[in-house]
Amino acid sequence: MKKITLFFSVAICISTVAVSQTNVSLKLAKGQKYVVDNKISTTTSTQVQGQSMDTKSDVASVYNIEVKDEGNNSYNLTNTITNVKMNMSMMGRDINFDSDNKQDLDGEMGSSLKDYINQPKDVVIDDAGNIITKPSADTSAESGIAKQLDFDASGYGAQMAFLALPQNPKVGSTWTDSTNNSGTDKSTTYTIKDITGNVATVSFTGILSIQKTMQNQGMEVSTKTSGKFSGEEKVDVSTGVIQTNTTTIESSGTVTAMGQDFPTSAKITSTTSVKAL
């Protein structure tokens, strides 16, 4: 479970786009609401004593975002996770979870998610799409699956929804963004491939390295991986709202537990759609 959800949290970070450059600006309207649907499929393989342990997971999450106010080069958002569904297969065991199912939410996996599902969170982003402030983490509640899913990393869906394009965007425009966030380093190069009407098609490629340490049933588990990713998204030129995003990630490295290193690899596909309500 820890390995699967680790790669899921990495996929959230990679499938979001926050542009750290000048001359870019979102144009969001106060009172506008959006629904963000994100689906992530993960296949991992870990070598243990000469045997391959394969795991698969499909995770779907839904976020509702409302632009509450706009200030000096910033936007105040209220973001709400409304649903999380997970289907996992590992070590011959199938695990299913649906936050809409009260029995699942009251169970072991859902216990920490109760503090997130349908609980509005205030997030402030600047006009380039970067998160300025997020809700203060409640470390007493931030445990189990919720900690691994790391909703905070995407600003509760905010960075999945917006991409600030360069001013006066045109086909062929290229820019690079480098970030370091909670043990994940990545460098991304974006290129505008096409502009049709008010929609820009943006392709991106990048490299990443990840170092994470977690506690699993009292045992420390460290993961060190590196890889590459690529994808494409369609963006509303006038607002910077992402309509669709598809990202593919391939990485490999080691998982360290009980003083042993285990080679591991993963392939992740993330798809996101954003719709105005």
Residue of 47, 40, 74 whose CA lies nearest to 268: 40
- Burial of residue 183 (CB within 10 Å: 0-12, 13-18, 19+) is middle
pTM of the model: 0.83
- By the 8 A CB rule, do 14 and 208 touch? yes
Indicate the SS3 state at residue 93.
Answer: strand
**Token representation of residue 140:** 């007493």
> Domain residue spans in the chain?
2-276
Residue of 33, 54, 5, 10 whose CA lies nearest to 179: 10
- By the 8 A CB rule, do 190 and 201 touch? no
Phi and psi for 171 in degrees, rounded to 5? -60, 130
- By the 8 A CB rule, do 148 and 2 touch? yes
pLDDT of residue 119: 92
- By the 8 A CB rule, do 202 and 191 touch? yes
pLDDT of residue 186: 83
Distances (CA, A) of 246 to 40, 101, 170, 201, 233: 10, 28, 21, 12, 6
The CATH architecture of the domain made up of 2-276 is Roll (2.30)
pLDDT of residue 20: 44
pLDDT of residue 235: 96
pLDDT of residue 212: 75
Residue of 81, 41, 85, 87 whose CA lies nearest to 62: 81
pLDDT of residue 185: 83
Rg value, the chain, Cα: 19
Phi and psi for 116 in degrees, rounded to 5? -120, -40
Residue whose pair of structure tokens reads 């600047």 in the numeric block = 126
Could you say which residues of the chain have pLDDT below 50? 1-8, 15-22, 138-143
Alpha-carbon distance 96 to 86, whole Å? 6
Residue of 189, 261, 187 whose CA lies nearest to 223: 261
Alpha-carbon distance 243 to 221, whole Å? 37
